[in-house]
Amino acid sequence: MIVSIQHKGLKRLWTKNDASKLPQDQVSKIRTILFLLNNAQKVDDMNFPGSNLHPLKGDLNE
């Protein structure tokens, strides 16, 4: 579930369905990723082909 979005363009797309501040050739892909993020219940839900999901390294690793 998406709790907060810091990027103004992404926030505007998510809350107002306004993609004017984002690259128009990427909007479809961005919408798909936001939808998947919002519906994910666990990290593995985001492990789809092409997502490049990988464990964090260094200080970011739990």
Listed by start position, the domains of the chain span 1-44
pLDDT tens digit sequence for 4-61 = 999 999 999 999 999 999 999 999 999 999 999 999 999 899 998 888 888 888 887 7
Tokens standing for residue 40: 């994910």
Closest to 34 (Cα-Cα) out of 10, 18, 8 = 10
pLDDT band per the 50, 70, 90 thresholds, residue 62: low
- The pTM of this model reads 0.78
* Residue 9 to residue 59: CA distance in whole angstroms: 29
Q: Is 42 exposed, middle or buried (0-12, 13-18, 19+ CB in 10 A)?
A: exposed
Helices vs. strands in the chain: H and E counts, helices first: 2, 0
